[in-house]
Structure 1
């Protein structure tokens, strides 16, 4: 930002070097790119991710079905953490041996995990695919929108970081070129330094 202010302040100053103007224009261009292109990239990325995730949501809703299962036996799952406070905060997860009929009418029996307080003989709902195999709950549209927003933020931040990295690399090249010019000038006038006006 200081380089941009300097570009305006030094626009007619004869002491302003061409490299100073280049640095200022580079900073101005990078700022415009970050302000315009980074949000645009984030919005496009979020839109693409949202479309893909919503297709996934529709596909999951199409192939996953909620069916009734009957619990045969229930076994509480011991928490992995031995800390009683953190264990109390964990959801009540239970292994339930249950049987159910798939969407095609086939009979199934397996161990499923549930967070409900199911007792033997009780009915509870599970999600299955077309073949009656247990599946996770379909993704909700709200979850898909949240994931898409996070993807957009990550893409926008990545684009801004890439543009800033490009600006810094270009600045480094400009500085190397400036130092090379200084070295050449010093090599030219260095041997005569301090001898101006002498007769030797």
Structure 2
């Protein structure tokens, strides 16, 4: 049964053992704490971040509204470039805000439109131009990515802290071994007759 043998080998720090040192027990608890913090903390960080991000996107969808605007200047077609041409350019537009006032501003529009063309723009509650909100599907995907990034960031911090702790324990063990060898080594170097 290789799996039982492997498990016994991996869990030796938890069993009573005459070779087990205090640093071995601290390392075992450090590894357990690291994996627990990663599992529980990463899950919580991912879920909370994804939920908050989705709520922010939902608030943006509720707050922003589309309005029809008139393009003030023509937007020529993009010329192909090595890096690829964008099909959207910044241009000046005029629209009527929700309070009835006429406003002008700059926003991204499709290329190839002539002055006077009607375009759809997005405004916030104050009547300022803003980007289009994400639809619910894109918001869910973006929230998932943000949650995964939060979990990955926490994992980096947790595993980094665990690695630093284990490195310090290794340094302490090496120093202890060196001191012990300083006491025992000279007795072994005598020649016997």
So what's the TM-score if we normalise by structure 1?
0.69
Per the TM alignment, residue 115 of structure 1 is displaced from its structure 2 partner at its CA by 1.1
Aligned to 1:49: 53
Give the 3-state SS of the residue equivalent to 1:76 in structure 2. Answer: coil
Matches within 5 A, 1:6-85: 6-8=9-11, 11=15, 14=18, 16-18=19-21, 19-58=23-62, 60-61=63-64, 65-71=65-71, 73-76=73-76, 78-79=78-79, 82-83=81-82
Query: Structure 2 length as normaliser, TM-score?
Result: 0.71
Contiguous gaps of at least 5 residues in structure 1: none
Say which of 166, 175, 190 aligns to 1:195: 190
**Displacement after TM superposition at 1:135 (Å):** 3.2
SS at match of 1:74: coil
**1:126 aligned residue (88, 108, 121):** 121
Change in CA separation of 1:135 and 1:17 when aligned onto 2, cut-off 3 Å: closer
Query: Retained in 1: the 8 A contact 2:50–2:143?
Result: yes
Aligned in 2, Cα 1:75/1:33: closer, same or farther, shift over 3 Å? closer
CA distance in 2, matches of 1:32, 1:121: 61
Aligned to 1:161: 156
Change (3 A) 1:182 1:97: closer
What is the Cα deviation at residue 76 of structure 1?
0.7
Farther off after superposition, 44-53 or 124-133 = 124-133
Deviation at 1:191, TM superposition (A): 2.7
Given that 1:76 and 1:95 are in contact with CA atoms closer than 8 Å, whether structure 2 keeps it comes out as no
Cα distance change on mapping 1:5 and 1:36 into 2, 3 Å: farther
Partner-residue secondary structure (3-state), 2:120: strand
User: More deviation in 122-131 or 40-49?
Assistant: 122-131
Name the SS of the counterpart of 2:35 in structure 1.
helix
Deviations 1:137-180 (A, max 9, x none): 23433333233212211111122222211221121121122112
Larger-Rg structure: 1
Q: Tell me, which stretches of 5 or more residues in structure 2 are unaligned?
A: 1-5
Bigger drift between 122-131 and 152-161 goes to: 122-131
CA–CA separation in structure 1 for the residues paired with 2:177 and 2:98? 80
C-alpha RMSD of the superposition: 3.6
C-alpha separation in 2, matches of 1:131 and 1:172: 55
